[in-house]
């Protein structure tokens, strides 16, 4: 707009002066010819309007000032952002440190409780095995005492009934009866030895598995009725997070279907009471373990 006004002033001013001269000529008046003046705009511009060069300089100065202000503002914003990020990072590190300390304390406490429980269960198992072994030996000794006495009575009765037979025949019969009695006693002793070996093997297996497993409750407990499956159709299934909401329902479904289930859970969010009605069942095993650590299972 400033340039347009400047252009109109420069172009129209000579036309106005020529029109005034023509009017004077028609009236017969004298007029003076306008001296040509160089078309040089004053320093302040025409009628106080700045020239384009001055406007460009002002624009460049304003742009430079705006650019400096922008750079200063950006520098301040970056400094504030870096300070805020540093403060947030420090707060996050402090919070993570507190969470790590709390987690380590909880893990240590759980591990101590588990070790105490496992030690107690192992002692009870050893006592039970020793007691069973003593009872078995007593029964075997009692049966061994009864069996020869019974055999001797039978032999005496036969000898009394066969008094009319030769003495040699009586001795052979008694010897045969004695051999039969000794063989039966030996068979019973072998059966007892095999049973004792099986009990020791079961106790060793239970002691090995109890290093990570939770001890079962007493055997007198009643459990829900499960489906019977043969060895070929029964599966051994591992469920991680089995004490949670979803895992406990999946455990119930598989147990009722007759499968063997091993539940692995650190019980941070799950609850032991969700699967407590299966603890002690032959097809169920609960292991307190975190899956971030390796775990070997048969």
Domain limits of the chain?
A: 66-211, 223-298
Q: Which CATH architecture has domain 223-298?
A: 3-Layer(aba) Sandwich (3.40)
According to the model, what pLDDT value does residue 243 have?
94
Chain centroid to Cα 276, Å, comes to 21
Q: How many degrees, rounded to 5, is the angle at CA 255 between CA 272 and CA 252?
A: 50
Which residue in the block uniquely carries the two structure tokens 């380590």?
Answer: 104
Q: Is the pLDDT of residue 98 over 70?
A: yes
CB atoms within 10 A of CB 274: 20
Q: Is the pLDDT of residue 234 over 60?
A: yes
| Residue 128 structure tokens | 């039970």
The H-assigned helical ranges of the chain are: 2-27, 52-161, 167-209, 245-256
**What is the distance between the alpha carbons of residues 65 and 50, in angstroms, rounded to a whole number?**
20
Bigger pLDDT: 138 or 275?
Answer: 275
Bigger pLDDT: 120 or 293?
Answer: 293
Of 40-54, 61-75, 149-163, 168-182, the range with the highest mean pLDDT is: 61-75
Confidence of residue 134 (pLDDT cuts 50, 70, 90): confident
Q: Is the pLDDT of residue 43 over 50?
A: no
Catalogue the long-range contacts made by 221-230 (C-beta closer than 8 Å, 24 or more residues apart): 221/280, 223/277, 223/278, 223/280, 223/281, 224/255, 224/256, 224/277, 225/256, 226/255, 226/256, 226/257, 226/258, 226/281, 226/283, 227/256, 227/257, 227/258, 228/258, 229/257, 229/258, 229/259
Is the distance from CB of 178 to CB of 151 less than 8 angstroms?
yes
According to the model, what pLDDT value does residue 175 have?
66
Q: Is the pLDDT of residue 61 over 90?
A: no
């Amino acid at each position: 707009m400033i340039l347009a006004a400047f252009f109109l002033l420069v172009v129209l001013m000579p036309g106005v002066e020529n029109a005034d001269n023509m009017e004077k000529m028609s009236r017969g008046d004298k007029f003076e010819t306008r001296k040509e003046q160089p078309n040089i705009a004053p320093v302040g511009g025409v009628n106080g309007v700045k020239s384009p060069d001055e406007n460009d300089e002002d624009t460049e100065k304003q742009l430079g000032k705006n650019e400096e202000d922008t750079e200063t503002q950006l520098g301040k914003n970056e400094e504030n952002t870096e300070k805020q990020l540093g403060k947030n990072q420090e707060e996050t590190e402090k919070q993570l440190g507190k969470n790590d300390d709390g987690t380590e304390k909880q893990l240590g406490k759980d591990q101590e409780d588990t070790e105490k429980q496992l030690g107690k269960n192992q002692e009870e198992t050893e006592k039970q095995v020793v007691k069973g072994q003593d009872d078995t030996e007593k029964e075997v000794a009692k049966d061994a005492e009864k069996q020869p006495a019974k055999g001797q009575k039978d032999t005496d009765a036969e000898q009394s009934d066969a008094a009319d037979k030769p003495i040699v025949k009586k001795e052979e019969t008694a010897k045969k009866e004695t051999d039969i009695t000794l063989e039966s006693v030996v068979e019973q002793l072998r059966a007892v030895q095999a049973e004792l070996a099986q009990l020791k093997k079961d106790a060793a297996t239970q002691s090995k598995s109890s290093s990570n497993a939770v001890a079962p409750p007493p055997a007198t407990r009643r459990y829900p009725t499960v489906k019977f499956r043969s060895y070929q159709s029964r599966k051994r299934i591992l469920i991680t997070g089995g004490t949670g909401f979803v895992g406990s329902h999946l455990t119930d479904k598989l147990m009722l279907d007759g499968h063997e289930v091993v539940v692995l859970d650190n019980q941070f969010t799950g609850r032991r009471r969700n699967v407590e009605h299966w603890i002690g069942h032959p097809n169920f095993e609960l292991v307190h373990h975190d899956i971030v650590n390796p775990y070997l299972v048969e």
